[in-house]
Amino acid sequence: MRERIDFSDVTFRYQEDAPPVLKDVDFFIDKGEWVAIIGHNGSGKSTIAKLMNGLLFAESGDVSVDGSVIHTDNVWEIRKKVGMVFQNPDNQFVGTTVRDDIAFGMENHGVPREVMLEKVAEVLRDVQMESYEEHEPHRLSGGQKQRVAIAGVLAVAPDYMVLDEATAMLDPKGRQDILETVREVQEHSDLTLITITHDLREIVAADRVIVMNEGEVWFEGTPREVFAHKDALSTIGLDVPFVAKLTQEMKKHGISFDREPLNHEEMVEELW
């Protein structure tokens, strides 16, 4: 059995008489990968996220995690494997302190108290929030809130972590910092990262990208391959970041940068 999330010809609609919002969506995400899912507003990204951990179920086709098709009987098992971080962390906080909040998820999974406290400290270190155990989650800054939400998910030790527009409420620096943090966590663990975004800058450092358009997979490839379709991206509502646009314009006019092509880290640096 392959350890992966598998969408096999998934169709989904919210209302019986409405057209499907996902049409024959077919892709997989292997364990250990960082896959970015990008698409314009309404292209079906959040619906995909919700299908990944049993908040919604496929109308036809299958969504499976490590070989088990997600259905009503195994959602709790699936949710332990697939953690979710959403756009607005305030809707996810349940504890009055950061420590209680992170512990809550573990309590639900029956973790003993001493193990729990150790784990809280560990995951707060992972997200660079170690001195915030006693703080009230609601009073933190936007970026700090998302770090706590991420720590809460990490505490349950999922195999897959889905960040659904989790950086959308942050400023560019905050967004970049969060992505760097989750990348670092991923590099030191077996965690599989699925980041959902409508911002092309957020796909650059991913291993692989799935581009959605109107409920269908429009393209799948490396960030470099996605950027090679620059012209087409703007036709499906994705704004090409300034630097990429500029490079393209310069090329058109026969002007090239007097240097080697950028590697991933340099591209990230340039784009933000």
Binding site for ligand ADP (CB under 6 A): 14, 21, 39, 41-47
User: Could you give the CA distance from residue 75 to residue 57 in angstroms, rounded to a whole number?
Assistant: 10
Which of 45/175 has CB closer to ligand ADP? 45
Which of 216/270 has CB closer to ligand ADP? 216
Token pair for residue 233?
């991206």
Alpha-carbon Rg for the chain in angstroms: 19
User: Could you give the CA distance from residue 200 to residue 185 in angstroms, rounded to a whole number?
Assistant: 22
Q: CB of residue 142 vs ligand ADP: minimum separation in angstroms?
A: 20
User: Could you give the CA distance from residue 74 to residue 17 in angstroms, rounded to a whole number?
Assistant: 28
Q: CB of residue 149 vs ligand ADP: minimum separation in angstroms?
A: 18
Amino acid at residue number 261: P
Determine contact, residues 150/89, Cβ cutoff 8 Å.
no
Q: CB of residue 168 vs ligand ADP: minimum separation in angstroms?
A: 11
User: Could you give the CA distance from residue 238 to residue 211 in angstroms, rounded to a whole number?
Assistant: 10
CA atoms within 13 A on the CB side of 187: 9
Residue from 55, 21, 2 nearest 212 by CA = 21
Give the dihedral sign, CA 254/258/263/266: negative
